[in-house]
Chain A
Amino acid sequence: MKAIYSLILVVALILIAIVGAGLLGIGYLFGVIIPYLAVLVFVVGFVVRVVSWGRSPVPFRIPTTCGQARKSLPMFKDKWNRLDNPGTKLGVVGRMFFEIVLFRSLFRNTRVEMHQGPHIAYSSSKWLWLFALMFHFTFLLIFLRHMRFFTEPVPGVFVMMDQMDSMFQILTPALYLSSVLILVALGYLLLRRLLVPTVRYISQPADYFPLFLIIGIVISGMLMRYIGVFKTDLMPVKELAMGLVQFSPTVPDGIGTTFYVHLFLVSVLLIYFPFSKLMHLGGVFLSPTRNLPNDSREKRHVNPWNYPVKFHTYEAYEDENRKAMVEAGLPVEKPLEEETEETSGEEASDDNAEKKE
């Protein structure tokens, strides 16, 4: 049901664009106002969110150590796992690089198998890692590839990216490898959510919605490029894009509805982004279990809000237990006599009692 609601929502968004830009012809709203608004919301929202995280301090040094620590003793030096248990800032940079670029933690993934027994086995399970990596990298590539719409002349690097992506020269225009791979990856991520019982159980609309939204973006983009009736003339699209980045927006004639659907879905994604789990893009950099060196016994980590806490002092402890301590032969700070003189009615009356006898 959660998946269906999310799908309906994305279909509704598509219909809005078709009706608005296609039937009613309000191209300026869908081609200029909404994209500008979306970029603004994205940038401001992203920054606000990251700043709000940054304003909360990191009171304790809590890296999750995933390997042997540095220089506990010289003899274990060659066993030190610099990457998974960094002891220096440089090591942390390495750990974060592998975490963010290669999804190292996800690479560890295992799967539990319950056999007849009692007997449990664990097997390596790298599909999620593989398809997650595939999705993120193709997404990045597609994003960069689109820069050729926003630049004139197009820098060589984007041209090269475009050529490499279409090197197989299947179909005309040439099929982008990244378009196929991202659909495969998205398909895996979606099917996994729908079919793996535990993953289905933990999934929420907020998990399905961005999947359907991105699938919608990819498909609308591909329709524009490859399928006759949806094809869009690239020249006016480029003119629109250049107008947007040069802050002199115009809406040229001849832009097909599919393009507006595509652009509208991208705009929605940008607006949705800062308020959603997609912010893991920024958050992963700030995760205290990953971005701190494991050196807290060597160097003191300062907690900016550390406040004094009253504790039960030795003095108070001895005052309460002095007699027993002396009897047990434990050293004390203040001798026993002193206390009996000053204090307690109970002991004083004991003394009196003894005297009477």
Chain B
Amino acid sequence: MATPKPDILYRNISHKPPAQDWMDLPLEIKPGRYCYSVDPSALEAVGMPNARVWNPLDEDWKLPENWRKTFLDGMKDRLERFRSFKVFMDICVRCGACADKCHYFIGSGDPMNMPVLRAELLRSVYRGEMTKAGQILGRFAGGRELNEHVLKQIWYYYYQCTECRRCSVFCPYGIDQAEITIIGRELLNLLGLQTEWIGKPVANCNRLGNHLGLPPHTFKDNIDFLCDDIEEAIGIRPQPTFNKKGAEILFITPSGDVFAEPGIFTCMGYLVLFHYLQEEYGFDITWSTYASEGGNFGFFTSHEMMKKLNAKMYHEAERLGVKWILGGECGHMWRVLHQYMDTMNGPPSFLEVPVSPITGTRFEHAASTKMIHIVEFVADLMKHKKLNLDKSRNDHLKVTFHDSCNPSRGMGFLEEPRDVINKVCNNFFDMPEGTIREQTFCCGAGSGLNPGENEELRMMGGLPRANAVRFVREEKGVNMLANICAIDRATLSASMDYWVPEVSVCGIHEMVANALIVPGEDRQTDLRGEPLPGKEDE
């Protein structure tokens, strides 16, 4: 089904709830709003249960015979393991503060996309199956029995949540739908109800080290191609090293950035920067083909899968004997690194507290994980004036910044990217308050919801972000939407095309590399091959 045109889609959004009570609503799985089911081979590859061919549009989902028990036992187990889950099941007062904070609700008007009702899908099962009041009073106490209809509802709407945590900012008790969705998806995965766009990258990443499934030589080839492009643009070819033992630093970034536009320009930015630092300061950093994925689609599958995929980072750092790890621009990757990695797979006693070999800055705030964000690293370089920059090369850009959900609401990483942007370009304009920083809107397709088939949903979810971009486009003439997330780069490119076609999307390090004056360079164009400002006529 084709996605309607923007004005038609917008006109059809109604926030007026239907007449029927939500517990009585029939479930209609709409093409354009759901993700295809996973191929059994991807589940088998990582030992996940109930691998079979199934189709969400079919009546029969080929659930295992004892699926109810599996789901409910899994729920009880997680209630005992996660205080968050248990408390969040019990204390919601349905005040509705979260209702209109979700980008999917704003953009679709589907009442089940109000975070409170998304949570109630699971809460009603909790009450109906696990509390006395719910068992006796049933619906009067907000309880429901878990049946196939309810399970399908949970599946449909838990893959319409991007775990962005915006609702949890506004909840008076800090109830975090992301946490509930994470656990809900974990339960669905006990029944083999994974989606292809999450399951396949998980299987790939497990075996080959990255979501795309690039084998070692292809990963290296891809980076080599980017070096070709850099040579064409600036006349210098970077010489990255791979799997180099004894390097000082290991670099890990989402694999999406070595693969597709506009992410590749960000990746080229890293390569130019590292080359510059190597030439100027003898910077010693290496890429790994084995730990070649910063992102972690295991995070969208289960806590166990997240740990399994993440384990490679420390494992590889130990093998190579590096001192610490530098991480590229990515959203959920950084939530995993910041809030989960050390707990799951640490402590990395074989690493050292990160110290910038160039400025001597000791990054005490990463004293335990031993991993820092490239934007922190670069902000520190700039502070110490270690980069020779020509801001005017980005003068053709009027830039705004999209805070990615996870670095903003899972780290508090708000000033660092703005600082770097302001040092590499002259025209920076923030979007209006309430749409940025901790209140930022999701790109519309985080948490593994960025396949092709759910385009309508992605455009609906991308509307609030696009709406704010349009505002600065109209007020300030903004033409570039910068961000620090690989999924943003992919998703926002599509949603900008749809809602605000005059605006392009880039990672911050693309702009850094464009502004960087590399000794011996011969530049006529930026990394995209477009003429630099002032060089248009040459």
Contacts and interface: CB of A to CB of B under 8 A. Distances in A.
A254 interface: no
Quick one: which of B87, B141, B179, B343 has the most chain A CB within 10 A? B87
B479 interface: no
Interface in A105-142: 105-106, 108-112, 114, 117-120, 122, 128, 132
A301 B343 contact: yes
B174 A289 contact: yes
Given A66-B169, A297-B369, A289 B176 contact: yes
A61 interface: yes
Contacts of A5: 140
B206 A289 contact: no
Contact of B411 (A128, A294, A318): A294
A306 B244 CA distance: 31
A294 B438 CA distance: 14
Contacts of B100: 110-112, 198
Interface string B431-456: 01011011100000000000000000
Contacts of B390: none
User: Chain A binding site: helix, strand, loop or mixed by DSSP?
Assistant: loop
B290 A314 contact: yes
A71 B365 contact: yes
B15 A112 contact: yes
Interface stretch (A10-18, A73-81, A159-167, A336-344): A73-81
B357 interface: no
Given A283-B87, A297-B371, A317 B412 contact: no
Interface stretch (B230-238, B257-265, B272-280, B414-422): B414-422
Interface string B154-166: 0000000000010
A330 B242 contact: yes
A62 B338 CA distance: 9
B94 interface: yes
Contacts of B172: 99, 103, 105-106, 132, 284
Given A202-B116, A331-B245, A132 B95 contact: yes
Interface in A271-294: 275, 277, 279-280, 283-284, 286-290, 294
A52 interface: yes
A201 interface: yes
Nearest to B342: A300
A303 B171 CA distance: 26
B319 A314 contact: yes
B365 A297 contact: yes
A204 B142 contact: yes
Contacts of A84: 438
Nearest to A315: B319
A59 to B, nearest CB: 6
Contact of A73 (B117, B245, B376): B376
B91 interface: yes
A118 B170 contact: no
Contacts of B175: 287, 289
A312 B290 CA distance: 10
Contacts of B524: none
Given A204-B142, A301-B342, A313 B289 contact: no
Contacts of A321: 208, 215-217
A330 B320 CA distance: 13
Contact of B380 (A73, A289, A309, A317): A73
B470 to A, nearest CB: 8
A173 to B, nearest CB: 34
Contact of A314 (B99, B114, B315, B437): B315
A287 B86 CA distance: 10
A143 interface: no
Given A66-B438, A71-B365, A198-B15, A106 B97 contact: yes
Contacts of A295: 365
Report the contact-size class of chain A (Cβ under 8 Å from the partner): 35 or more
A107 to B, nearest CB: 9
Given A59-B82, A297-B368, A325-B217, A85 B412 contact: yes
A246 interface: no
A54 B22 CA distance: 32
B94 A57 contact: no
Contact of A69 (B86, B215, B411): B411
B74 interface: no
Contacts of B221: 328
A205 B94 CA distance: 11
B144 to A, nearest CB: 11
A295 B88 CA distance: 23
A304 to B, nearest CB: 9
Quick one: which of A53, A205, A311 has the most chain B CB within 10 A? A311
Contacts, number: 314
B94 A204 contact: yes
Given A61-B339, A65-B438, A331-B245, A72 B216 contact: no
Given A205-B141, A306-B344, A299 B106 contact: no
B10 A196 contact: no
B213 interface: no
Contact of A56 (B80, B415, B434, B499): B80
Contact of A198 (B114, B209, B311, B343): B114
B413 interface: yes
B467 A120 contact: yes
B311 A300 contact: no
Given A67-B414, A128-B95, A201 B17 contact: yes
A309 B306 CA distance: 10
B173 A280 contact: yes
B15 A310 contact: no
Contact of B10 (A67, A117, A197, A325): A117
Quick one: which of A73, A111, A279 has the most chain B CB within 10 A? A73
A70 interface: yes
A112 B308 contact: no
Nearest to A201: B17
Contact of B338 (A49, A122, A296): A296
B347 interface: yes
Interface in B403-430: 408-416, 419
B309 to A, nearest CB: 7
A321 B208 CA distance: 9
A199 interface: yes
B409 A120 contact: no
Given A62-B179, A311-B206, A311-B312, 14 more contacts: A65-B408, A68-B415, A198-B15, A199-B96, A204-B142, A283-B91, A287-B84, A295-B365, A297-B342, A297-B367, A298-B368, A309-B307, A311-B308, A317-B209
5 contacts: A73-B361, A202-B94, A202-B96, A298-B366, A325-B216
Interface of A: 5, 49, 52-62, 64-73, 75-76, 79, 81, 84-85, 99, 103, 105-106, 108-112, 114, 117-120, 122, 128, 132, 196-207, 275, 277, 279-280, 283-284, 286-290, 294-303, 305-306, 309-314, 317-318, 320-321, 324-325, 327-331
